[in-house]
Amino acid sequence: MQKISLAIHGGAGTILKELMTPELEQEYTRALNESLQAGYVILKKGGSAVDAVQAAVMSMEDNLLFNAGRGSVFTNKGSHEMDAAVMDGYNLSAGAVAGVKNIRNPVELATAIMQHSNHVFLCGTGANEFALNQKIKMEPDEYFFSQFRYDQWKAMRDGDSYALDHSNAKVEALMKDKKFGTVGAVACDKNGHIAAATSTGGMTNKKYGRIGDSPVIGAGNYANNKTCAISCTGHGEPFIKAVAAYDVSCMMEYKKLSLYDAMYEVVNKKLVAIEGEGGMIGVDAAGNIAMLFNTVGMYRAARNSHGLEVVKIYGD
């Protein structure tokens, strides 16, 4: 019988137990669980992998804890510009957005592009215009404000100038906060179709309309029934250069590697070689799941119809 599976991540980075309070750990665990159940219930009812990854990602986009949707980080101009992508491994259809503002659920917009346009990738004001036409839910700027992210941005912004003044204490404080909070989901449904979705606010203090790997098909997000569905998190630039998600697919297709082995090659060898800090989650059409990272931790969770159910934060 076809195994149904779902895996999610809420970002990778320097997530150390000693920097976490028990309350915060509980909050993250609850949020990961909520997202996992939001997606899994769809698969269990016989729904599609695309619907499941969208629901799982939307749940995290609505949660301030994660750097996506509502909890998106601040750009250097003090605004929020979000990126997201979705891909259906059944027919390779895909949708993506970059640099969108005031969209409550960027993954919903990416899915609308995939399902209701002749395009794959929209950016900025054009994407926002399409969102209006599609009646995608918008929110005012205040919705995306959180004191925590604001302080994080201020530390980063001030940190830059302090770093020039060679203030080690400030630099250290910055390093401690070096984590990525992008969210993503991969799923395999009862028909053996797989899908991936990823959503992010990008990197704190980002400049110049910077776009990361998350909305770039093949870099931070990819799905193909023949191989795998992958969602990445980490320092976007190296992930783009490595074409990370597609490379996993290629190694499965051409070298016949298993999902785990192909992901291991990319995460622990190829990305490490170019200082590509981060991780990824993956699923194949048999419903196998893998969750790998080269950072200290990664918020992650997985569930399948063969009894697997895990929620994890730190290294194994």
Question: Is 125 a known active-site residue?
Answer: no
Q: Considering only CA atoms, which of 34, 41, 43, 32 is closest in space to residue 8?
A: 32
CA 17 to chain centre: 22
Q: How far is the CB of 91 from ligand ASP (least distance, A)?
A: 26
DSSP-derived letter for residue 217 is: B
293, 267 contact by CB (below 8 A): yes
Binders in 158-187 for ligand ASP, by CB under 6 A: 180-182
Which of 99, 218, 234, 297 is close enough to bind ligand ASP by CB under 6 A? 234
Q: How many C-beta atoms lie closer than 10 Å to residue 177's C-beta?
A: 15
Contact between 90 and ligand ASP per CB under 6 A: no
Phi and psi torsions of 262, nearest 5° = -65, -40
Q: How far is the CB of 293 from ligand ASP (least distance, A)?
A: 11
- Which segment (84-92, 147-155, 208-216, 252-260) binds ligand ASP by CB under 6 A? 208-216
Size of the site for ligand ASP (CB under 6 A): 16
Catalytic annotation, pick one of 75, 111, 182, 198 = 182
* 212: contact with ligand ASP by CB under 6 A: yes
- For ligand ASP, the closer of residues 181 and 287 by Cβ is 181
Which listed range, 44-52, 138-146, 185-193, 229-237, lies at the site for ligand ASP (CB under 6 A)?
Answer: 229-237
CB of 41 to ligand ASP, least distance (A): 26
Two tokens, residue 122: 């929209």
- Say if residues 30 and 23 touch (Cβ distance below 8 Å): no
183 and 66 Cβ atoms separated by less than 8 Å: yes
Q: Which one-letter DSSP state was computed for residue 212?
A: -
Count CB neighbours of 109 within 10 A: 27
Residue numbers annotated as active site:
182
What residues line the site for ligand ASP (CB under 6 A)? Answer: 11, 67, 180-182, 200, 202-203, 212-214, 220, 233-236
